Amino acid sequence: MALPRAAEEADPAFAHRPAATLLLAEEAGLRLRLIAGEGWGMRAPVATASPLFYADAVLAPGARVPLPDGHEERAAYLLEGEVSVGGDSFAAGRMLVFRAGDGLAPTAGPQGARLLLLGGAALDGPRYVYWNFVSSSRERIEQATADWRAQRFARVPGANQEFIPLPLPQTVRLRAGTGAQG
């Protein structure tokens, strides 16, 4: 997750939350599990460094899911099925990006749909992304990859002890406020 610049050098952390502890809302053909952040009248037990929402939504045919207001950036990744938004239809594998306050809500097609819903505050400057590393500094990404290769990162307690090699280098720069790659 891209952190605000002021929190980028915070100590790494990992918190496991069993599925049963995540908040679940069910109504009118919508089953929504809030994973992180705040939205739909709920606040997830997972701590975040900035205002955001991240949820898994399963929609029955014809069901709608509104996106929470109050976030500068909002999106939905369509995992399964088809949805329509503003008269246009979209199939699985698409990321739909919404403007703040536009009031649009994805509506499931005849087979239903499953979406990951996410959003939050706009980034406070560009970010670089390489594998699991995100930073406002390309040099910091390069240092993190060197540290990973040298296995200088602490192991996550209870996690698999197998070393996972880095994928082929491919750093991407994200522009502030757009979520777009540049």
**pLDDT on residue 2:** 78
CA atoms within 13 A on the CB side of 158: 3
Residue 108, SS3 per DSSP: strand
Helices marked H in the chain:
138-149
Query: Which domains, from first to last, does the chain contain?
Result: 5-120 (2.60.120.10), 127-174 (no CATH)
In the chain, % of residues over pLDDT 90: 55
Q: What's the CA gap between 172 and 143, in Å, rounded? A: 16
Mean per-residue pLDDT, 32-48: 93
Taking only the tens place, the pLDDT of each residue in 72-122 is 899 999 999 999 999 999 999 999 999 888 888 999 999 999 999 999 988
Does the pLDDT at position 159 exceed 70?
A: no
- Whole-prediction pTM: 0.80
118 closest CA partner among 177, 58, 59, 77: 77
**pLDDT on residue 181:** 43
- At 180, the pLDDT band (50, 70, 90 cuts) reads very low
Taking only the tens place, the pLDDT of each residue in 59-74 is 999 999 999 988 889 9
What DSSP element (H or E) covers 84? strand 73-85
φ/ψ (deg, to 5) at 72 = -70, -35
Mean pLDDT value across the chain: 87
Describe the chain by its helix, strand, coil percentages, rounded to 5. 10, 40, 50
